[in-house]
Amino acid sequence: LSQSISSQSVDLCRLRYFIDRRGRMSNPPAKRSRDSPTIKMRIPDGTKIDSIGTFSPVHRINGFPWRLHVCSSHSKGSHLDVSLYCDKSTESYLWECQGEAILTSTFAKSITVIERFKCTLDSWSGHNIFYFNAAIDMTCKQLEVEIMTDGDGERFRVKPTVDPQCARDVTLVVGKRRYFVNKKSLAAHSAFFNALFFGGYKESKQSEIEIKDVDPKDFGDLLDIFHGFEHAPLMDKVILFAKVEVGETFLQLAERFDLKIVSDRAESFLLRKWWRSKHECLRLADQYKLELLKKKAISMYQKNEDVEELWNSTDYEKISRQTLQVLWKKSLKFDS
């Protein structure tokens, strides 16, 4: 940033932004969907359903978009395969859904079969489809699935929607590189950029703004991740090459520029990773407040030896007291 914005003025600008959000710009609290928690699909003639199958319309239940899919079975002879799709990844980079699905199959003469299934779906494991382990006869006339989740899907941050045709109305100069961006797109997801572009300082009137103390390529990669480009280097380097330090670089930048949507994407990628060190996983999750990653890290501690190993590691002093207390309480149950 230009030297005219001191660290104190940036803090004041951030404070003004949050006060403004509370006073006039705050979003209404997420409301639980009033849609029925049940998806119904009529099957006029099951023998005409092929291997491609058919989908129900999207049903929004507890903040999650669901579709029911029915196709002919490859392995169960004259039966139908039924699966449940959760399309939350079209809305959010980071999400998790745990709950129960009740499948009701109605046959001729009103004969019904009811089966219950536990399901866990999320953004990082590739599990956005739940396959019902049930052989549905082709004489089935109607399927109903009642979905009960353990939380509201509206609590997860929504992906930025950036129109590729929108005007790039400001240039961010980082070293020798220039990045053309849309002010409103960045400001909508970052208190830092909202203050920079609309905080009333001289930078808000400039067509070019200098960003200092950041690697130009890393900043460009950060913008790629923000805009949702699928070949962003975070995916290539963290997932394919498992370099935690690269992921941490983007978490640091996301924290500095207050781009929580980037933190969401980074956390989703890091949740896919196989961790050689559970202590490093816990430290990273705790330091950057990645709650789902922290949940995974704590689950990796299975015995007292794991906890003792943490006490003797270099990560121990970097983990907050609150997180250590959670881990300590869990360790009390290891010998019980």
pLDDT digits (tens, 9 = 90+) for 135-154: 788 888 999 999 999 989 99
Residue 310 has pLDDT above 70, yes or no: yes
Query: Per residue in 311-326, is it b (16+ CB within 10 Å) or e — as a string?
Result: eebebeeebeeebbee
Q: How far is CA 235 from the centre of its chain?
A: 14
Among 82-91, 164-173, 224-233, which stretch is predicted with the lowest mean pLDDT? Answer: 224-233
Tokens at 212, concatenated: 């200092």
Q: What is the mean pLDDT of residues 246-270?
A: 87
Output the pLDDT for position 300.
92
Quote the CA–CA distance of 264 and 226 in Å, as a whole number.
Answer: 10
Q: What is the pLDDT of residue 336?
A: 55
pLDDT (0 to 100) of residue 17: 32
- pLDDT of 8 > 70? The answer is no
Contact status, residue 71 vs residue 53, Cβ threshold 8 Å: yes
The greatest distance separating any two alpha carbons of the chain, rounded to the nearest whole angstrom, comes to 79
User: What's the rounded mean pLDDT across residues 87-96?
Assistant: 92
Q: Is 280 exposed, middle or buried (0-12, 13-18, 19+ CB in 10 A)?
A: middle
| Nearest-5° Cα angle at 32, 188 to 123 | 60
**307 near 327, Cβ under 8 Å?**
yes
Contact call for residues 95 and 187 (beta carbons, < 8 A): no
- Asked if 76 and 70 count as a contact pair (C-beta separation under 8 A), the reply is no
Whole-number pLDDT of residue 113: 82
Whole-structure pTM value? 0.75
Q: What is the mean pLDDT of residues 245-274?
A: 85
